Amino acid sequence: MVEHLPRLPSGISGLDEVLGGGFIEGAAYIVQGRPGAGKTILSNQIAFSQASAGRRVLYVTLLAETHDRLFQSLSTLDFFDKAILGDAIRYVSVFQSLRDEGLDAVVKLIREETQRQHATLLVFDGLLNARDRADTDLDIKTFIAGIQSQAAFVGCTVLFLASAGSSQDSRPEHTMVDGVLDLCEEVVGVRSYRQLHVRKSRGSGSLGGYHQFEITDRGVTLYPRLEAKYAYPSRDEEPSKKRVGTGVAGLDEAIGGGLPAGSVTVVVGPPGSGKTSFGLNFLNLASKKDHGLHFGFYETPARLSLKAEALGLDFSKKRVGRDLHIIWNPLTENSLGKLAHQLLEAVREHKIKRLLIDGIGGFDRAAIHKSRLMEFFSALTNELRVMNVTTIITWESQDHTVNENSDPFPEISSILDNLITIREVHRQGRVQRLLSILKVRDSAFQQRSYEFFFTKNGSAAIDATYASNPGSLS
Amino acid sequence: MALIAVVDDEFLLADLLAGLLVGEGHEVMTAPHGRAALQMIRERKPALVITDFMMPLMTGLELAQAMQVDADLADIPVILVSGAQGASARDSHPELFAAIFDKPYDRKAMLKAVANLLDTP
């Protein structure tokens, strides 16, 4: 029988998932990273979360900033609560014992203090200083073993914080603990990304690889790598034969009654071809029962509302927030992990059934490592499908004259259900938009082109008559 | 000039305060926590104790309480210097402390309080 070890929740969004359910109670971990990597904030956030859950924490420092300076910097963070200092969380320095009496005395002091405090979490900040005091690797291992053995005995979880010169540092003391967490920063071009990596995790499966995190007023928020977290979707898909209206007059009939419910459609076209307008018509059919979400990178919510109004659609302030939701992330400092997290959270919270992602380029720009995009979108779209979200993703093509019979996106289209292209043609001195249906899941449809246009009141429509006379394409 | 005990687990803070008091002509002894301090205070009977709150083995509050129940030490004034517990000590144990300072404190105000308590203006 598999034994499930009791866990200590970290209180940090995303971290427990990465750790396979939280820290193991009574286990010891090394949290390492360069100065500024976020070790102190991470461990204090865990400490305050434990304290607010009624448990007791001992926070031991060696040679570090003074405690009142630490409190000063922590006081800008939401989780900090001055009222519990000295009671549920106790900060003590053991530097003088280390200097005057050595490592053994420190072990003795920490053991006694852990019991005095009835601590269930011990944070030891300054493993590097302890290492400096050790004459041999064996000394530092003995030090860790001395603290850890007694902590395990009384059921106290230990976090050793260590400043690491390089995040790739592998140290002899790593063999002594149950887990090692690396906090590191990746610099790509002019940007930097904070990342967490579980280097070692004994007695617990953890999500591998590098997980992005950010530090804000709320402390640390971790975004587990999507393709690892949803290697398999969170539940089984329940395929339905239901169809979902596109909002584009004439299109539903052409594709067998609408888009298959819970499918993912990509609408490809050059700038200005009407992809967003297509999507807005789709979102406009959102209802109290089936909420809609616009997840965009380009238009601000205000601009979007104007654009919708020009199309005769209601995206007014009165409506947004009721059955229609808008999330706008400008194309500035985004990260894939955060975008996906934000998107899936909103879908869950608002029970979104119609989703417009405008457009895929926003994710592409946010990806530091483009090679993961396929796996990322596989995980994202699989998860959207099991939540029965019908999704339209816009894709800006650079080429204004996409050949309607070729598949411009061989790789990614394999994870999409439906593919529609919009292109522009010059015909008898007029620019016309042609909408082509290249792929629709589980549907009998004619692979052909239609004229895509906006009616007098602004709403989108297609017309099949064009297709009957395709010969005059310029 | 008097003998003063400075008790703080954060040695830099203890060092700075000790230096300040030595500069005023006092003799200073330091201890890294309440337990070591209590032993030292019993042995040498300082004229004043300045202590931190949060320390290992014995807190500043526990030290003051231990001194109060010890007839030999009950009359020694104690100044509390705390990063976070100043307010709560003021509320719950005003009788234990002759003065309470929040870290970071004003050095002149500290020297003034020391001078007042030692009655050496």
Is the model's pLDDT at A407 over the cut of 70? no
Q: How confident is the model at residue A465 (pLDDT cuts 50, 70, 90)?
A: low
Minimum-distance CB partner of A113 among B32, B57, B88: B57
Distance CA A433, CA A462 (A): 10
Q: What is the CA radius of gyration of chain A?
A: 28
Q: How confident is the model at residue A468 (pLDDT cuts 50, 70, 90)?
A: very low
Amino acid at site A177: V
Range of weakest confidence among A78-87, A150-159, B22-31, B77-86: B77-86
Higher-confidence residue of A284 and B93: namely A284
Judge whether B104 is closer than 8 Å to chain A, CB to CB.
yes
Contact A281, A459 (CB under 8 A): yes
Q: What is the pLDDT of residue A464?
A: 72
pTM: 0.89
Distance CA A84, CA A89 (A): 6
The stretch B54-81 carries a mean pLDDT of 96
Nearest alpha carbon to residue B38 among B11, B71, B66, B57: B66
Smallest CA–CA distance, residue A93 to chain B, in Å, is 5
**Residue B59 to residue A86, Cβ atoms within 8 A:** yes
The stretch B37-54 carries a mean pLDDT of 97
Instruction: Give the pLDDT confidence of A52-98 residue by residue, as tens digits.
Output: 999 999 999 997 788 999 999 999 999 999 989 988 999 999 999 99
In chain B, % of residues over pLDDT 70:
98
Minimum-distance CB partner of B56 among A83, A85, A92: A92
Is the model's pLDDT at A408 over the cut of 70? no
In chain B, % of residues over pLDDT 90:
82
Q: What separation in angstroms does the CA of A175 have from each of A137, A146, A179, A180, A199?
A: 11, 14, 9, 9, 12
Instruction: Give the pLDDT confidence of A232-257 residue by residue, as tens digits.
Output: 999 998 888 899 999 999 999 999 89
Is the model's pLDDT at A470 over the cut of 50? no
Nearest 5°: CA angle at A325, between A320 and A330?
Answer: 110
Judge whether B92 is closer than 8 Å to chain A, CB to CB.
no
- B-chain residues near A60 (CB < 8 A): 56
Instruction: Give the pLDDT confidence of A265-300 residue by residue, as tens digits.
Output: 999 999 888 999 999 999 999 999 999 999 999 999
The stretch A156-179 carries a mean pLDDT of 84
Q: For chain B, what is the total number of helices (H) and then of strands (E)? A: 5, 5
Instruction: Give the pLDDT confidence of A351-361 residue by residue, as tens digits.
Output: 999 999 999 99
- B-chain residues near A86 (CB < 8 A): 53-54, 59, 82, 84-85, 88
Q: What is the pLDDT of residue A401?
A: 53
Nearest alpha carbon to residue A380 among A411, A418, A338: A338
Residue A186 has what DSSP assignment? E
Q: What is the pLDDT of residue A466?
A: 58
Classify residue A258 as exposed, middle or buried by CB count within 10 Å of its CB (0-12, 13-18, 19+). Answer: buried
Range of weakest confidence among A444-448, A462-466, B15-19, B54-58: A462-466
The stretch A398-409 carries a mean pLDDT of 53
**Residue B54 to residue A95, Cβ atoms within 8 A:** no
Q: Taking CA atoms, what residue in B is nearest to A112?
A: B57
**Residue B54 to residue A66, Cβ atoms within 8 A:** no
Q: What is the pLDDT of residue A107?
A: 96
Smallest CA–CA distance, residue A387 to chain B, in Å, is 48
Range of weakest confidence among A170-179, A311-320, A364-373, A396-405: A396-405
Instruction: Give the pLDDT confidence of A97-143 residue by residue, as tens digits.
Output: 999 999 999 999 999 999 999 999 999 999 988 998 899 999 999 99
Q: What separation in angstroms does the CA of A217 have from each of A18, A187, A285, B2?
A: 22, 23, 38, 47
Is the model's pLDDT at A403 over the cut of 70? no
Residue A397 has what DSSP assignment? -
Instruction: Give the pLDDT confidence of A188-202 residue by residue, as tens digits.
Output: 889 999 999 999 998
Q: What is the pLDDT of residue A65?
A: 80
Judge whether B32 is closer than 8 Å to chain A, CB to CB.
yes
Q: Mean pLDDT, chain A, as a whole number?
A: 90
Show the tokens assigned to B85.
């517990």
Judge whether B51 is closer than 8 Å to chain A, CB to CB.
no
Contact B51, B63 (CB under 8 A): yes
Contact A407, A438 (CB under 8 A): yes
Length of chain A: 474
Contact A243, A388 (CB under 8 A): no
DSSP codes, A299-337: S-HHHHHHHHHHTT----TTTBTTTEEEEE--SSS--HH
Q: How confident is the model at residue A350 (pLDDT cuts 50, 70, 90)?
A: very high
In the numeric block, the tokens 């790598």 are attached to A225
Q: Taking CA atoms, what residue in A is nearest to B14?
A: A96
Range of weakest confidence among A110-114, A378-382, A462-466: A462-466
Distance in angstroms between the alpha carbons of the first and the last residue of chain A: 71
Q: How confident is the model at residue A463 (pLDDT cuts 50, 70, 90)?
A: confident
For B83, half-sphere exposure in the C-beta direction (CA atoms, 13 angstrom radius) is: 24
